[in-house]
Amino acid sequence: MNLLETKNLTAFYGDFQALFGIDITVAAREVIGLVGANGAGKTTLLRSVTGLLSAPKTAITFNNEPIGGARAETLVKKGIAMVPEGRKLFPSLSVEENLKLGATTKREGAWTLQKVFDLFPILEERRQNPATKLSGGQQQMVAIGRALMSNPTLLLCDEISLGLAPIVIADVYRALPAIRAAGTAIIVVEQDISQTLRVADRLYCLREGRVVLEGPAATMNRHAIADAYFGAVH
């Protein structure tokens, strides 16, 4: 049974259509890679799934329940959490306050403040600091931890490597196996294909609002991905 399924999902910004009938599935505990160039619709797809962008009701099902167009705050309670692009930490709040705000829904599950600190020990030292005074990598850890605090069954990560040094990216990505082991499926949106291939079970490649390539990450050919990514003409 699929945890998440989109069927012919469309999305609009005013008159501008950003998604043209997207069909994707995510099974429980699966890690999905979503790649594509700027403007391919990756973030739009995530925003539709989280409810920040409206969608036709039956176009998205989560745990066999149609959730398209539901409000984001309701979907968090059902178990969908997002690490937004650019981290979007609350600058007025400390690290600990940011994390605790993530637990507002009081969903039961494996993640607690202490478990997040175990996953990212540096955050425990910095817990009293204003969140945005941390380094980029540490801020990304806060953003991931904050999403985990709602004990999601589906975690959406939007460009979590953006603007980080390679060594820091490795640090951040090291957390994914533990997150999955706790029972969470993950969608990773990245522009960096090799990073995505390392962590994902399956891959979807988006171009101009459509899925142009999909399959298990293990069998994916880098050239095929590059072609799909840039829309090479054969």
For other proteins, the binding residues (CB under 8 A) are: 50-52, 71-73, 76-77, 81-82, 84, 88, 90-93, 97-98, 100-102, 104-105, 146-147, 150
CA distance 43 to 49: 10
Nearer to other proteins, 99 or 220 (CB): 99
Determine phi and psi for 149, rounding to 5 degrees. Answer: -60, -20
What minimum distance in Å lies between the beta carbon of 173 and other proteins?
21
What minimum distance in Å lies between the beta carbon of 81 and other proteins?
7
What's the chain's length in residues? 234
Nearer to other proteins, 98 or 195 (CB): 98
Nearer to other proteins, 37 or 93 (CB): 93
Rg over alpha carbons for the chain, rounded to the nearest Å, is 17
Q: Which residues pair with residue 61 across a beta bridge?
A: 5, 66
What minimum distance in Å lies between the beta carbon of 100 and other proteins?
7
Q: Which residues pair with residue 156 across a beta bridge?
A: 82, 187
CA distance 118 to 97: 17
For the record, the structure tokens of 10 come out as 């469309």
Nearer to other proteins, 87 or 207 (CB): 87
Nearer to other proteins, 68 or 102 (CB): 102
What minimum distance in Å lies between the beta carbon of 104 and other proteins?
5
- Torsion-angle region of 112 (φ positive above 0: left; ψ -120 to 50: alpha; else: beta): beta
Nearer to other proteins, 65 or 167 (CB): 65
Of 116, 52, 60, which is closest to residue 84 (Cα–Cα)?
A: 52
What minimum distance in Å lies between the beta carbon of 141 and other proteins?
17
CA distance 73 to 101: 13
What minimum distance in Å lies between the beta carbon of 59 and other proteins?
20
